[in-house]
Amino acid sequence: MRIGVIISDEPRINDEIRVSQVRLIGPNGEQVGVIATSVALNLAKEANLDLVEVAPNAKPPVAKLIDYGKFKYNEKVKQREARRNQSTAEIKEIRFRLKIDDHDFEVKKGHVERFLNGGDKVKVTIMLRGREQSRPIGGVELLQRLADEVAESGSIESSPKQEGRNIIMTLAPKGKKVHTQSEQRRRGAESRAERQARQAARLAAKQEAKAQEAEAAKAVVSEATETSETKK
């Protein structure tokens, strides 16, 4: 039976490094040079750091003295921030009839603007019926009117084109709108942090007040005791 080998993306650290020599880099990036791995491990222990193999294919492999736990934590933080800053744009869809009245047009235009301002693309579809299919120019004009009226929020990504009974156009948010959701999440995180800080401050104030009350009570008891002893 063939036994599979599990390949890890994690670097080898400390005793996992089996080579006899490494090219050592110090914790501040200084080049120490080629030394015995056992010596490098002793240096790591003395500095309360880890010996981490950063270039295993080099000859000899390159290892660095770092706090591996702190390094992994910082990497996770960076990855989390990168995910937060990624665009999470979706494609929303709005359907129009060719003979739409002004009120309905304004309502649907409001939806389009809201989607664009939220960082999402919008697929706008004009549904043609009967004889309208022979006059697609009216649908193109309606879509162009829509694009002109929402120009502050988005621009045409895919020009109006007829697909069967429909005319379709895609609008994309302006560059600064794409990251609106990420910005909202960042502000939400900041708001939560501020609330937590206020709660911590209130808790600290309560604890301090209780400590002061306890000290005052002790002082009263001490004074009463001294008075009692004086009377005796």
* The domain over range 91-173 is classified in CATH as 3.30.110.10: yes
**Residue holding tokens 């791995």?**
37
**Residue holding tokens 């001294």?**
226
Task: Give the residues across from 43 on adjacent strands.
Answer: none
As annotated, the residues of the chain forming the CATH 3.30.110.10 domain(s) are 91-173
As annotated, the residues of the chain forming the CATH 3.10.20.80 domain(s) are 1-67
pLDDT for 35-91, tens place per residue? 999 998 999 898 899 999 988 888 899 999 988 888 888 888 888 877 766 555 578
H or E segment to which residue 219 belongs = helix 180-231
Is 60 in contact with 24 (CB distance < 8 Å)? no
Q: What does the pLDDT average to over 107-132? A: 88
**In terms of CATH architecture, what is 1-67?**
Roll (3.10)
Question: What is the radius of gyration, based on Cα positions, of the chain?
Answer: 34
Is 184 in contact with 193 (CB distance < 8 Å)? no
